[in-house]
């Protein structure tokens, strides 16, 4: 029988409502959660680990890298066939992508959680954990990078984002939909996800700003980021990758200061492209030396830029790494 390491790492899946404050707080141990995944012993041997009991807004990039190192040690063990990790849902996509970029393994690594705490009717933690364990033992799930499993749907860490603040199927892949499903404990994949490069890093350079464009914006926030010593800037631009003209000088200043600027769209779907030649248009930004992040969400491409910058500050390398696996 295959063996799966389950890392308990906080989030709503480990929470219950505290009667005094009438709000959910971390309470359940890994053993208590696992006991609710009834019948799983017929599918896999489980080895439980505890990493944290944090809600995801408390998770930092540095903790994500520590978790990546823990997972690396587990997948290097011959007796472990796959790893499942619990996580709060708010920053789950960022951790999933950092793990995906920094782990080199064929073994399935699956991240899950819950949208409802154990005090709510329809607590979804045990079902998500069961489906994740089924994925971790699946031959089909090998070599697909880190997967996110919720509500019987599998999404790739590269593509997934939390698209709904309360639905059980909160995790979605914009543009394409899930890459697979867990049906009756069987894992079925419907398509591939483009693979990018992976790098093993030991330290993280996490000082990367994310700026969302709004009408009439100027260069003030970009200048603030430069002056505060940020090492990289992600801009969630408008539409196809365009910014207001008053931001352009700031972008130029950042690039002249060797600070990489990555542009994605604030639109939920679609990709950026050098369609427009006016001041601040995508073509204008490309000519200045901006990196394009294809169809990625700002918070995800920030993680990719972070990993790139943690490996090297060479602009050519950073551009190639960030654009690798994108179109």
How, if at all, do strands 161-162 and 171-172 pair? antiparallel
Q: How far is the CB of 56 from ligand ASP (least distance, A)?
A: 3
CB 4 within 8 A of CB 136: yes
CA distances from 255 to 88, 203, 233, 263, 324 (A): 35, 24, 10, 13, 20
Radius of gyration of the chain (CA): 20
Of 143, 237, 244, 147, the C-alpha closest to 195 is 143
What residue ranges bind ligand ASP (CB under 6 A)?
Answer: 11-12, 55-56, 88-90, 113, 115
- Of 86 and 242, the one with the shorter C-beta distance to ligand ASP is 86
Which residue do the tokens 């920053």 mark? 91
Q: How far is the CB of 5 from ligand ASP (least distance, A)?
A: 21
CA distances from 135 to 34, 61, 108, 111, 228 (A): 16, 26, 7, 10, 44
- Of 168 and 199, the one with the shorter C-beta distance to ligand ASP is 168
Active-site residue (options: 89, 102, 112, 135): 89
- Of 168 and 288, the one with the shorter C-beta distance to ligand ASP is 168
- Of 115 and 130, the one with the shorter C-beta distance to ligand ASP is 115
| Residue 268 CB neighbours (<10 A) | 12
Q: How far is the CB of 125 from ligand ASP (least distance, A)?
A: 10
Q: How far is the CB of 115 from ligand ASP (least distance, A)?
A: 6
Residue nearest to ligand ASP (CB): 88
**Residue 89 annotated to the active site:** yes
Q: Could you give the residue numbers annotated as active site?
A: 89
């Amino acid at each position: 029988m295959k063996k799966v390491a389950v890392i308990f790492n906080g989030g709503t899946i480990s929470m219950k409502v505290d009667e005094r404050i009438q709000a959910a707080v971390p309470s359940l141990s890994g053993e208590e959660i696992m006991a609710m995944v009834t019948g799983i012993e017929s599918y896999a041997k489980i080895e439980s680990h505890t990493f944290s009991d944090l809600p995801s807004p408390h998770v930092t990039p540095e903790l994500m890298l520590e978790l990546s190192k823990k997972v690396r040690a587990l997948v290097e063990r011959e007796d472990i066939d796959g790893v499942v990790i619990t996580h709060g849902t708010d920053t789950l996509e960022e951790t999933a992508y950092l793990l995906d970029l920094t782990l080199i393994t064929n073994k399935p690594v699956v991240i899950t959680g819950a949208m409802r705490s154990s005090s709510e009717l329809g607590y979804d933690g045990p079902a998500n954990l069961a489906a994740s364990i089924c994925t971790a033992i699946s031959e089909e799930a090998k070599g697909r990078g880190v997967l996110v499993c919720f509500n019987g749907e599998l999404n790739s860490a590269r593509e997934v984002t939390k698209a709904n603040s309360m639905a059980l199927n909160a995790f979605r892949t914009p543009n394409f939909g899930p890459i697979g499903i867990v049906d009756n404990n069987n894992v079925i994949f419907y398509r591939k996800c483009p693979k990018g490069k992976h790098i093993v890093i030991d330290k993280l350079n996490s000082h990367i700003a994310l700026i969302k464009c709004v009408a009439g914006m100027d260069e003030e926030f970009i200048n603030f980021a430069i002056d505060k010593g940020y090492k990289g800037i992600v801009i969630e631009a408008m539409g196809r990758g365009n910014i207001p003209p008053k931001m352009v000088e700031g972008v130029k200043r950042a690039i002249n200061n060797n600070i990489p600027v990555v542009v994605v769209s604030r639109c939920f779907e679609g990709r950026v492209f050098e369609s427009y030649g006016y001041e601040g248009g995508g073509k204008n930004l490309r000519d200045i030396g901006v990196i394009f992040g294809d169809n990625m969400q700002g918070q995800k491409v920030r993680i990719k830029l972070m990993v790139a910058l943690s490996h090297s500050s060479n602009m050519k390398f950073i551009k190639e790494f960030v654009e690798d696996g994108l179109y």
